[in-house]
Amino acid sequence: MSTLPSPATIIGGPVSPYVRKVLAVCELKGVPYKLDPIVPFFGGEKFSELNPLRRIPVYIDDKVSISDSTVICEYLEERFASPAVMPAGVAERAQARWIEEFADTRLGHVSIWRLFYESVIGPLIFQTKRDKDKIAAIVAEEIPDVMATLERLAPAEGFLFDRLCLADISVAVFFRNIEWARVELDRSRWPKTLAWVARATATPALAKVSAMGDRLMQVMPDQHRKVLAEMGVGLTETTVGTDVPRRGPRI
């Protein structure tokens, strides 16, 4: 079990798969946290100071103020070693890191920046029109390549290594956003991957943080703090969020 003089602050709403990855690791390791559940596009000046890339999650505790889910999870693994979220062997750890990187970069690009952006973020935050043809084209042309890689990696049962690890979590989190984008993936085409993702998502830590995202997806961003408080999630007293959306440096 971990010790922190006071709960860590995590900036970023659980609709983000990268935030859910960090929250799941905190849940698994028993790291106490308070959430400032902003949508990154609504971050104010303080958010830009904390992360010039204007991306969530940001993690702050008594010793660090850091960004990037991989950096944060590595820090949590080193500071709060037990229970481990990385496999024990050197080679297995390297393999896990590579799968995490593939998920963060390639699966993240297709599922978040292409699908989820087109389906949810654009219409909700930037008043763009949800383009069904564009979504269908992404599903037909971009998803299969990523899914074929995952289908080769997916374990027939259990998880990638001896128990749930960061690589399983890193892959699984994106699939909830694909569901929220109202895209149903073909179970007969990618059975191993979708069964593996379902097993990972059913574990208590991921189920808990997925439920937070499910609830947020039912309400507008200005209700996010309220509904998370109703769910018993500890929240920061202040926020780095504002009312006016703006794009980060990537787009």
Q: Is 68 in the site for ligand GSH (CB under 6 A)?
A: yes
Q: Which of 27, 61, 100, 104 binds ligand GSH (CB under 6 A)?
A: 104
Q: Is 209 in the site for ligand GSH (CB under 6 A)?
A: no
Between CA 35 and CA 49 the distance in angstroms is: 18
Does residue 43 contact residue 242 with C-beta atoms inside 8 Å? Answer: yes
Least distance (Å) from ligand GSH to the CB of residue 165?
16
Cross-strand bridge partners of residue 52: none
Pairing verdict, β 58-60 and 33-36: unpaired
Range in contact with ligand GSH (rule: CB under 6 A) among 14-22, 74-82, 185-193, 215-223: 14-22
**Residue among 17 and 241 whose Cβ is closer to ligand GSH:** 17
Between CA 244 and CA 221 the distance in angstroms is: 12
Q: Is 56 in the site for ligand GSH (CB under 6 A)?
A: yes
Least distance (Å) from ligand GSH to the CB of residue 178?
13
> CA 180, 113, 105: angle at the middle one, nearest 5?
110
Q: Is 25 in the site for ligand GSH (CB under 6 A)?
A: no
Does residue 108 contact residue 174 with C-beta atoms inside 8 Å? Answer: yes
Positions touching ligand GSH (CB under 6 A) are: 16-18, 40, 54-57, 68-70, 104, 112, 248, 250
